[in-house]
Amino acid sequence: VQLQASGGGLVQPGGSLRLSCEVSQRTSSRFVVAWFRQAPGKERDFVAAIKFNGGYTYYGESVKGRFTISRDNAKNTVYLQMNSLRPEDTAVYYCAASSTVIHSQLASQDAYAYWGQGTQVTVSS
């Protein structure tokens, strides 16, 4: 399974960006794709996750109400729509995937076996 993340860039505070994560294949009906982010000098944090089968979504507390994760099953692509961006959202954003993760592990990076290369998001005026 290969993941290709794209869509990062420079945006002003309050602006929006949409990230995409294209997945080469889904290996099971339990396939889950998540976004994590890592700011310089900080640990990698969970952002959001979505189950391809049924579309269940789960968000980290810091992005609830501002970010929306969605998927296009036909294109095997997951999107992260980011609105009301803040300077503290600046980070490298990674998409990750798993065919075995259970609900209680959705926010744990150790539960994801497949990772994309990351895309830089910078929020600055």
| Helix locations, 33-93, DSSP H | none
The Cα–Cα gap between 85 and 78 comes to 19
Per-residue pLDDT of the chain (125 residues; tens, 9 = 90+): 899 999 999 999 999 999 999 999 876 667 899 999 999 999 999 999 999 888 899 999 999 999 999 999 888 899 999 999 999 999 999 999 999 888 899 999 999 999 999 999 999 99
Distances (CA, A) of 81 to 12, 16, 35, 106, 118: 15, 7, 11, 19, 16
The Cα–Cα gap between 24 and 54 comes to 19
